[in-house]
């Protein structure tokens, strides 16, 4: 995985922790012949790709939760 800027990589790790980016990087790993993922990343993968996926997931989660809160309030009324 390519890390363009050490400072931005450290900032991501400080904000998200170590295990969160590792989880989001899983889909960028090369598949072995048996279907499992290897420890190697697909060519061209960068930490920016993992960060973008994490940010996208956070935005979707926040949007979904906001709608569900309104729905829950409506159903309780």
3-state secondary structure of 11: helix
| pLDDT score of 60 more than 90 | yes
| Each residue's pLDDT tens digit, 4-47 | 889 988 999 898 888 898 899 999 999 999 989 998 999 999 99
Tell me the Cα Rg of the chain. 17
Number of domains in the chain: 1
Between strands 29-31 and 37-41, the pairing is antiparallel
Rounded distance between C-alpha atoms, residue 72 and residue 66, angstroms:
10
pTM above 0.85, yes or no: no
pLDDT band at 64 (very low <50, low <70, confident <90, very high): very high
Residue 26 domain boundaries: 6-76
**Would you mind telling me the total number of residues written for the chain in this entry?**
77
Asked if the structure places residue 45 within a domain, the reply is yes
According to the model, what pLDDT value does residue 35 have?
Answer: 86
Residue 32 lies in a domain: yes
Question: For residue 61, is pLDDT > 90?
Answer: yes
């Amino acid at each position: 995985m390519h890390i363009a800027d050490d400072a931005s990589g450290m900032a991501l790790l400080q904000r998200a922790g170590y295990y969160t980016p590792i989880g989001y990087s899983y889909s960028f790993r090369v598949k072995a012949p048996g279907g499992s993922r290897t420890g190697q990343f697909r060519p061209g993968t960068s930490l920016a790709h993992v960060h973008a996926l994490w940010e996208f997931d956070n935005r979707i989660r926040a949007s979904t939760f906001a709608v569900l809160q309104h729905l829950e309030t409506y159903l309780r009324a």
